[in-house]
Structure 1
Amino acid sequence: MAEEDAAIRRLYEDLLSAWNDRDARRYASLFTDDASLIGFDGSQVDASELEKHLVPIFTDHPTASYVWRVQEVRPLGPAVALLRARVGMVPPGHTDVNPAVNAVQSLVAVQHNGTWRVALFHNTPAQYHGRSDLAEEHTADMRAAMVEASSRS
């Protein structure tokens, strides 16, 4: 299972790295043909439309970069797994996360012919209504993840 766990974590890292690189084609290539994406704003995109959906976002908007911490990778059955993570975003030209756009993400990965791909990616705002301690904890965790990522570079 350690090998599968590592492969699923790599898939997730590749996905967010493709976003950070503003590479719509590479991002879309990580999904199965029948996958779905649910975006931060609630938009729902089928895999067949994913690249077309992302190109104008990357072309017309200075997108923030993700920092993340995987919380769990759990098998759901043979060749199917769930990854859950917390993320923060660093706006272009800034050096700190923007707590207003912290999120939690879920990724369902499936393995076909030895390759893991995204079947479902869901990005939900982490607003923690009325629980400022959780919001502050999330932001502190993302700041720590950002420091850890920069030390690996």
Structure 2
Amino acid sequence: MTAAHPEDARIRALYAAFLDGWNRRSGAAVAAGFADDGDIIGFDGSHHRGRLSIAADLRQVFGSHQTAAYVGIVRSVRPMAPGVAVLLAHAGMIPPGENDFDPQLHTVHTLVAVDEGGGRWRISLLQATPAAWHQHPDAREALTEELRGLLAPQ
């Protein structure tokens, strides 16, 4: 069993800031958490490289159409090497104007974080992989229900 990362809270906060920036539809806020040479690979396979490019490209995306909002669940944060960690999360998306998840948009987020020094963690890579689970539709439904539980009033 792999041990949890000693900087677990900081890396989880990095992911939360990514989701927040996306949901506010701010290319600058999304890009702020990335390393200068960071990469983001979208759900559709689109690839944006470098913090400035990520900010500009997402500003264009957010300006050209409404995007769905993310709700994510971190599954693990673990060390890969000194100064490198990987975060795995499942996320669902709520389409614009809707109040429920579209299970066809569920995704697995893989985030590679690097310590740039002094405990300043940045995203080196964030990849969104469709969570289609073709052979396991029960897993997709279970994730949908788990995500809905995060939206329910407490």
CA–CA distance in 2 between the matches of 1:146 and 1:104?
A: 19
Q: Percent identity?
A: 41
CA–CA distance in 1 between the matches of 2:32 and 2:87?
A: 18
Paired residues, what number?
Answer: 149
Cα 1:12/1:29, change in 2 over 3 Å: same
- Per the normalisation by structure 2, the TM-score is 0.91
Structure 1 residue 94 corresponds to structure 2 residue 95: no
Point out where structure 1 has 5 or more consecutive residues left out of the alignment: none
Point out where structure 2 has 5 or more consecutive residues left out of the alignment: none
Q: Is the 8 A contact 2:88 2:109 kept in 1?
A: yes
CA–CA distance in 1 between the matches of 2:22 and 2:120?
A: 20
Structure 1 residue 40 corresponds to structure 2 residue 43: yes
- Per the normalisation by structure 1, the TM-score is 0.91
Listed one character per residue, the Cα deviations across residues 79-124 of structure 1 (whole Å, up to 9, x for unaligned) are 1100000000111221111111011100000111221100000001
Structure 1 residue 65 corresponds to structure 2 residue 75: no
Bigger share in helix: 1
- The Cα RMSD (Å) is 1.5
Structure 1 residue 121 corresponds to structure 2 residue 126: yes
CA–CA distance in 1 between the matches of 2:148 and 2:128?
A: 19
Q: Is the 8 A contact 1:40 1:124 kept in 2?
A: yes
Structure 1 residue 146 corresponds to structure 2 residue 133: no
CA–CA distance in 2 between the matches of 1:69 and 1:146?
A: 12
